Amino acid sequence: MRPQGLWRSLVLVQLASTRSFLETGSGRRKLQTAALGASSPSRIPEFAFAFDIDGVLLRASKPIPGAAESIALLKDQGIPFILLTNGGGKHESERVAEISEKLQVPLDPSVIIQSHTPFAELVRGPDELSALENKCVMVVGGDGDSCRRVAERYGFKNVVTPGDIFMANPNHWPFSKVFRKYYEGFARPLPNPCGSKDPTEGLKIDAIFVFNDPRDWALDAQVILDVLLSSQGILGTFSEKNGCTDLPNRGYLQDGQPPLYFSNPDLVWAAAYHLPRLGQGGFREALEGTWAAITGGPSKGVELKKTIIGKPYQGTYEYAENQLLRNRSRAFGTHLQQPIRNIYMVGDNPESDIQGANTYRSPHGSQWHSLLVRTGVYSGGEPTWTPQAIVDNVQKAVEYGLNKSRWHV
C-alpha cells in the first residue's frame, strides 16, 4: 500500500473543510440529531460501532435475525455507527437505499463506506497539483459503466473505461469483439484519439482505478498493462525506459506513468455457488502475475507499484473513523478531533474485518475492538485472526459493546 501519509493528508484536508460545520447553532444541531435518528442528544456516546454487511446484517440479501432491531436501537440511542463493506459498484445512496429497504430501517448515505468510497477524496486531493477532478481517470470494473457514473458523482469530470478504448479501436484487444454488443450499450467517445504516437494528441490517463470486479478480465488487464508500460500514461506509446537495468525498478514505472489504485482486496467471496468465487483480489493477483511475467517481476527486482484500499487496510479504517467523527459531530456538535474512545468492529471474516480492526492504529487514539459473529464466513474453530470476542450474531455483538461501554438502554 502507498504510504499512509497520502490518506492522512487527504483526511486532514477533509477535516479542515468540515470544521466550519461545527459552528452550527443549537437549533440546527437539534434538526441534525433528529435526521440521524438520535432521541437522547443529552448523552453523548464515547463509543461507536462499525458493521460489515454480508454475513453480519444480511445473508444472501436477506436480513439476519436481530440485525434490523440492533441498527434501529443504535439509531434510537444516537450511538454512531457505520456500515463498512468491501462491496461496491453502486453509488453509496443506491446501496444504502437497498439496505434500508431490506432491514426496514431508514439509513442516511453518510453511514455507509464501500470499498471505493475513499477514492472520492482524490477528486480534490491534498493539493491543487494532485487533484484529479479535471484529469483523465480510467475506471475499471462493474456492470456496464455503473462505476463510471459513481466516479462522476464523486466529482471526477473526465472518466474513461476500457470499453470506450475498445470501441474506439477494437484491435486493442481483438478477443473482446464477442462482447461488442455489451460495450455498445454504454461506451462513449474518447476525449482524445487512441493509439496516437504523438504525445500531444494521444489519450493520456492520469490515474487508474479498479473500482469493482472486472467483467472482461482480459481487456481490462491488457489496457491497464498498456498504460503502465506507456510513456507518461499516453495510450499507444511504449516507454523507452522499460527494461533499463541501470534505472530503479529496471526502468519500469519510471516514465510518468499514472498511479494504480485497487479497491476491495478480497481474493474470494461467497456467492450462490457452493464453492468460493474469485473476487476483485483475484483480478489483482492475475494482473500482478502477468506484470511479473512481462517485466521479470520480484525475482528481477521489479515491483508493481499500487495503492490498495478496502478492509483490512489502514487507509480504509482511518476513513471509517473520520466518517464516524463527522457523523457524531453532525449529531451532537462535538469537536471533530475529540476521539471516540471505543469502536466495536463487528464482522464475519477474520481476514478482513478482524485483521483490520486488530492491526489498525488510530491517529486519534481510539481503541478498536474486533467482534467475530457466527452468521457468515466464519464457521467455527480457531480463526486466522483472533478477535476480542466471538459472539453468535450481530445482536449479541451490540449487547457486548453496550455492556463494555456501560451504556444502559
Return residues touching Mg ion (CB under 5 A): 52, 54-55, 348-349, 376
**Would you call 6 helix, strand, or coil by DSSP?**
helix
Q: Which of 47, 120, 7, 131 is nearest to 346 (CA)?
A: 47
Shorter beta-carbon distance to Mg ion: residue 89 or 376? 376
**Nearest distance in Å: CB 311, Mg ion:** 9
Neighbour count for residue 290 (Cβ, 10 Å): 16
Which residue number, 233 or 312, has a Cβ lying nearer to Mg ion? Answer: 312
Where do we find the cell 476483485? 280
Nearer to Mg ion, 59 or 188 (CB): 59
d(C-alpha 155, C-alpha 151), whole Å: 7
Q: Are strands 112-113 and 136-140 parallel, antiparallel or unpaired?
A: unpaired
Residue nearest Mg ion (C-beta atom): 55
Closest to Mg ion by CB, 156 vs 385, is 385
C-alpha cell at 114: 464501500
d(CA 172, CA 294): 18
- What DSSP string runs through 161-223? -HHHHHHH-GGGSGGGGGGHHHHHTT----SS-SS-S-TTTSPBP-EEEE-S--SSHHHHHHH
**What is the phi/psi pair of residue 392, to 5°?**
-65, -40
Is residue 52 within 8 Å of residue 85, measured between CB atoms?
A: yes
Nearer to Mg ion, 212 or 230 (CB): 212
Q: CB 145 → Mg ion: shortest distance, Å?
A: 27
Torsion angle, alpha carbons of 271, 218, 136, 156, to 10: -10
Closest separation in Å from C-beta 337 to Mg ion: 31
**78 or 376: CB nearest Mg ion:** 376
Q: How far is the CB of 91 from Mg ion (least distance, A)?
A: 21
- 282 vs 333 by CB, closer to Mg ion: 282
